[in-house]
Amino acid sequence: MDLKKIMYALAAVAVLLAGALAYIWYQKNQLVTELTIEKEELTAQMIDLQNDYASLSSDYDTINSQLDSSREEVSQLIQRIKKTEATNRSKIRQYEKELGTLRSIMRNYIVQIDSLNTLNKKLTADAAAARREAAESRKKSEKLSKKIEDLTGQVAVGSVIKARGLKLEAFNSSDKKTDRSSRVKRMIATLSLVENDLAPKGLVRVYIRVKGPDGVLLTNSTQKTFELNGEPLICSASREVDYQGKEVELGIYLNEIASFSKGIYTVEAYTTQTKLGEAELMLR
């Protein structure tokens, strides 16, 4: 009689374990299914964004060049999403952030194109009215306008802060330089802002964008967003310096990166005025 009870009890335990395993299997499959659907939806959104970019066009070479660059970023991001496992949630979340940035950039393109078209129409109308009202002084006005435009352009170009000697280096936990990816704990980008008496004096923030061998931007908890020519960009790190028109050397540290893989890393340095330069670092 006791043996039967024991057998019944073991059978009940077996049934419970089987039920628990079945429940765990079901939950796992359901999670994988949900993540797969989430990846498919993200991919579909990226393809929609790609189509939106394809439909954008303008009459301005500068904007067209920027559009081509953004279209290439969208295309590369779609390829990376397709190659990424749906269960890699950190990568999927990173791609969602990049999708949001690319959407924001596209909205800025639309605003720029509309503004330029509106401005172009207004300038055309104003020019026609000016020709009608002051035909006799047109030549003098054109010469004066050209001179002012040239001088303004020269001042604008001359006032932009420039840099030299941009370099990216890697350091280990002992704060020594290394080119072994497994030993890297942080990176530092160094450069010099060159002397320029025409440039505005005061605090200047320098931003760096570091991309790994897979082309993905390296970011941590200190990441910021800045604008370059009205276009929002995410930076890996930044530093503010006091620029008084004289040469300033500075280093910008990139910490809190979980790991580094083998390959070529690229760094780009910017202010909100211009791109300062680009450099590479090879890790083995």
Tens digit of each residue's pLDDT (9 = 90 or more) over 141-171: 676 556 555 444 444 455 788 989 999 999 9
198 and 84 belong to one structural domain: no
Give me 274's structure tokens: 């211009």
88 and 180 belong to one structural domain: no
Query: Cα dihedral angle (203, 209, 210, 213), rounded to 10 degrees?
Result: -170
169 and 256 belong to one structural domain: yes
Tens digit of each residue's pLDDT (9 = 90 or more) over 61-104: 777 788 787 888 888 888 887 777 767 777 778 878 887 887 78
DSSP single-letter state for residue 95 = H
Position with higher pLDDT, 123 vs 232:
232
Q: How confident is the model at residue 50, as a pLDDT?
A: 81
Residue 262's Cβ-side half-sphere holds a number of Cα atoms within 13 Å equal to 2
Assess if residue 143 is contained within a domain.
Answer: no
Distances (CA, A) of 192 to 88, 134, 168, 267, 277: 39, 51, 13, 15, 11
Give the CATH number, domain containing residue 269.
Answer: 2.60.40.10
**Domain ranges, residue 76:** 2-103
Specify the amino acid at residue 240: E
d(CA 251, CA 206): 10
Give me 38's structure tokens: 């989430």
pTM greater than 0.85: no
**pLDDT band with cut points at 50, 70 and 90 for residue 186:** very high
Q: Where are the beta strands (DSSP E) in 6-144?
A: none
Q: Where are the beta strands (DSSP E) in 111-201?
A: 163-171, 186-193
78 and 188 belong to one structural domain: no
Assess if residue 134 is contained within a domain.
Answer: no
Assess if residue 265 is contained within a domain.
Answer: yes
Indicate if the alpha-carbon torsion angle 34, 35, 36, 41 is positive or negative: positive
